[in-house]
Structure formats: C-alpha cells, structure tokens
With several copies, the nearest count.
Chain A
Amino acid sequence: MIQLFQVYKNFGSKNPALLDINLTVKKGEFVFITGPSGAGKTTLLKIIFCAERPTSGNVLVHGRNLNRIKERDLSLLRRRIGVVFQDFKLLPRRNVFENVALALEIIGFPLPMIRKKVHQTLRYLSLTNKEGYYPPQLSGGEQQRVAIARAIVNNPLILLADEPTGNLDPDLTMEIMALLKEIHIRGTTVLVATHSKELLKGTTRRIVTLNKGRIV
C-alpha cells in the first residue's frame, strides 16, 4: 500500500529531516511511528501524503509513484487518505459540522448522506453538542477530535494520524484508540505518529522508531 525507497528529505540545513528511509506498509497494516521531538515523524507522514516532496528517493502510495503523479490524480488520491494533522488544520470560518462535511462534499456525496455520516462520526467522538461551533471556540481537545472526525468520516483507504491524542485526556485517548482499531478492522491501513508511551504500552502492533531522520 505504502512503499518508500531510499527517501531523503533536506530542508536546506545541515541535518536532513529524513535520511535513507526504506519502509513498506502493507494493505491493512497498523503501524506506529515513534521517536523523539524533531525526529522526522511529521515529515515522513507529509511525504506519504505528498504535502512535501522528497529531496530524493521514490514513494509509492496505492500503486502510484508520487514523483510522477499529476495534479488531478493527486487530489483523487488525497481523498482516499484521511489525515489528522498535528496542528489540526481546521477551517476557522466553517463550523464543526461544515469542517467534517468538507471531506464528503469534496467527493461529491449527496447532502442527506453527508448529514447522516457527519452526525454519526461526531457522535462517536462525543462532539454532538459542538456541531455549530467554530474552531476558535473549541478547546484544544475538541479541535483535535474534529480533526479526527474529518479524517475518518469518508472511510479512507489509508489513515495518517499525527499525534492524534496529544491534547486528549487518558479516557478520551483510550476511546480514540478503540476507534482507530475499529477503523483498522474495517480494512483501513493506519499509520499513527506518536511519542505517547501510553499508546505504545503493551501493543502488539508494528512500531517504527525514528531518530534524527533515520529508522532505528
């Protein structure tokens, strides 16, 4: 599903953000990416998502080489990937409902379907009573859950979650993890970047550890 071959990413400073990354994630896998702050976790996810282009190396996602993908196909591919951004990236001028509905609008879902799916997802994340709020009116944890809702609402092929529980309390963290597992069981390939010991504790999932841009 996701393959990285000798990927390097250098932002122009002496220390590259990613060094010689080779990684294969199979369809339906659940992978944790961990490592200290500044290790390159976010950069790795960004490259898979084509928000950044690698300095060298090749990335194949869902059978497509991202170095050679066309603008239009990239949009189509991104629709099949759900992303929880570390800084949420919610639209400040749309309310919670509209932010989540966006992911379905883009695909061209009919409105009644959109309503049903959005309500359902917001219920999962205990956000039902925040539907009409705008992101600046939400607490940190609520914003994070809206970001998760937007990422999962359209049942993506791949889910990339960057520190999805950094602003959540332990109870909610467990709920979110349960949710991710459920999504995974339904067939989605899941990559979660985190440095939370709690998330990793006792898991039997594959863990990829980054340090200073290298897989260790």
Chain B
Amino acid sequence: MGNIRENRLVHLIGIGTMSIAFLIFYAFILVFVNINYWTEKQGKTLSMSIYFKEEPDSAVIENIKKELFVFPGVTVKQFVSKDDAMKSLRRKLGEKAGLLDGLKQNPLPASLEITLSRDKGGDNLPYQLKKRLEKSSVVDEVHYTQEWIKKFQAIMEVIKIVGVIFGGLLFLAALFIITNTIKLTIYSRKEEIEILKLVGATNCFVKIPFMIEGSIQGLLGGAVALFALFLAYIIAITRIDISIGFASFNIVFLSPYIILFLLLMSVIIGFIGSTISLGRFF
C-alpha cells in the first residue's frame, strides 16, 4: 500500500517537473508572441495627430477629411475637440483634476487622430502628409512617431532573432529535463520491467503502459503549465497597466490554435521521452 502511494508521489514529482519545464517554455512563447504582435501592429500602422489652431467647425473637419482620403491607407480614428481633450486630461489627472479649475480658458488644442498603414501608403507618406497639412491655415502642427518606430523596429528585429534562438534552446532544455525526469521514474521501476520480461511479456506488453503513462504525464504537465500561465496572464492584465510613454501595451494570450498545438506537443514530448527512456531496457 505504501508502495502505491509512493509510486503516485513519484508520478506527481514527474508531472510537477514537467509542468515547470513546460511553463518556462510557454511563458517565453507568450512573451515572444506579444512582442511580435506588438511590433507588427506598431510597425504597420503609424498614428498621427493633426492639431488645429482653433476649434474647427464640422465643415473644416470634413474638408480636412476629404483631403486625407486622397491618400491611400489613411484611416480617421476620431476627432478630439478642445472639450474632449480637457475631459481626457481630467480623467488622467484623477484626484488632482482640481488643479485645472483655475484655468480661465481651455489651453488644449482640438485634434484629429488618424492612422496610416505602411502597407498601402509607403514609407514616404507620413512626411508628405505632414508637410501638406501644415500648409493649411487651420492646422497648427502635425505630430507622428515614425522616426522613433524605425529605431525601435531595429531593436525588435534583434530581439526576434535572439528570441528564436533562445526559444529553441529553451525547447531543447525542456525536452531534456522532461526526458530525464521520465528516465528517473522509469529507473525506479527497472526491476518490474525485468520481472515482466522474465515472465514472458513481449516488449510491447511492457513498453506500451509506460508510453501511455508518459504521454498522459506530458499532457497533464502541459495542461498544468498552460493553466498556470493563464492565471499569471489574468493577474498580469488586471494588475499591470504597462504604458511606455508613447503607447500602452495590450497583452494578448496565446491563440486557441497555439494552445492546441502546445498541448499536442506536450503529449508528443511525453511519448518521445518515455520511448527514449525505455530504450535502455530493450
């Protein structure tokens, strides 16, 4: 009876080790997917703010919009009136909004927020647009962030390359740890394997239960890891609101396809791990 309980414990240890190994790998994939997603988004679209000298009336806005739609890949996000700008500033200030009460006049400019798509507009578009718009008598200034993005993308390229290398190594490490763990659990049952063979069991009869066990262990390990990662993700998105000056992070979780793929992979790793580990005995 004690033996049974112990055996279960050995399995639990095995599954625990596996989940941690998987978790490290999965967490890395999650971070990587997010970086990818984010640079993709940032790299393809570029947001531009058109600040007006005075509060424009709707005719003026329509005019500007018409002018904009001549260019490909331009999307008008929203018009922010002076009042809207003030409201959003108040919201951001929170408790300290009282500071704004003393103002006699609203100093904030009205603006039109638009995005440009690199795919359609080409690299030169933002500059052309800025130049053209700033000639207009109603427009005060045009801001955009492409210069920054270009440098940032260079770093991101490097991060991507480093990421793929590191991810690959991490995968190998997880595979190694998992195979070793399975090996150790199988070692603890070495004698049983020998007895089974002496009693006339074929290799398949002995191996198949271990392989099934390894696959199930892999599946459970992978599932536990994914669950832990999901919990961490939930905590992260509710607690942390990472905003880096220019844009706020929108953390995404792994897509269902990736999840399915990872679970399948964990089963396969468990299966391969036990098959490799069994090799010694046959």
B84 at the interface (CB under 8 A from A): no
User: Are A89 and B202 closer than 8 Å at their CB atoms?
Assistant: no
User: Are B3 and A93 closer than 8 Å at their CB atoms?
Assistant: yes
A49 at the interface (CB under 8 A from B): yes
Chain A residues, CB < 8 A from B192: 91-93
1/0 per residue, CB under 8 A from B, across A78-102: the answer is 1111010100011111000000001
User: Are B198 and A93 closer than 8 Å at their CB atoms?
Assistant: no
User: Are B203 and A134 closer than 8 Å at their CB atoms?
Assistant: no
1/0 per residue, CB under 8 A from B, across A173-188: the answer is 0000000000000000
A9 at the interface (CB under 8 A from B): no
User: Are A89 and B3 closer than 8 Å at their CB atoms?
Assistant: no
A103 at the interface (CB under 8 A from B): yes
User: Are A136 and B2 closer than 8 Å at their CB atoms?
Assistant: yes
Chain B residues, CB < 8 A from A76: 200
B231 at the interface (CB under 8 A from A): no
Q: How distant is the Cα of A85 from the Cα of B189 in the complex, in angstroms?
A: 19
A102 CB contact (under 8 Å) in B3, B4, B199? B199
Known: A71-B203, A93-B7. A137 touches B198 (CB 8 A): no
Interface centre among B1, B203, B205 (most CB of A within 10 A): B1
A83 CB contact (under 8 Å) in B2, B198, B203? B198
Interface centre among B7, B196, B202 (most CB of A within 10 A): B202
A150 CB contact (under 8 Å) in B197, B199, B201? B199
Chain A residues, CB < 8 A from B205: 106
A-side interface residues, number (CB < 8 Å) = 26
Q: How distant is the Cα of A89 from the Cα of B203 in the complex, in angstroms?
A: 18
Q: How distant is the Cα of A211 from the Cα of B202 in the complex, in angstroms?
A: 35
Q: How distant is the Cα of A89 from the Cα of B199 in the complex, in angstroms?
A: 10
Chain A residues, CB < 8 A from B200: 75-81, 103, 106-107
Q: Nearest B residue to A151 by beta-carbon distance?
A: B199
User: Are B7 and A49 closer than 8 Å at their CB atoms?
Assistant: no
* Nearest 4 Cβ contacts at the A-B interface: A78-B200, A79-B200, A75-B202, A89-B195
Chain A residues, CB < 8 A from B1: 134, 137
1/0 per residue, CB under 8 A from B, across A100-135: the answer is 001100110000000000000000000000000010
Interface centre among B189, B197, B199 (most CB of A within 10 A): B199
Given A106-B199, A134-B4; 17 other pairs, CB 8 A cutoff: A71-B203, A76-B200, A77-B200, A83-B198, A83-B199, A85-B198, A89-B198, A91-B195, A91-B196, A92-B3, A106-B200, A106-B205, A107-B200, A134-B1, A134-B3, A136-B2, A150-B199
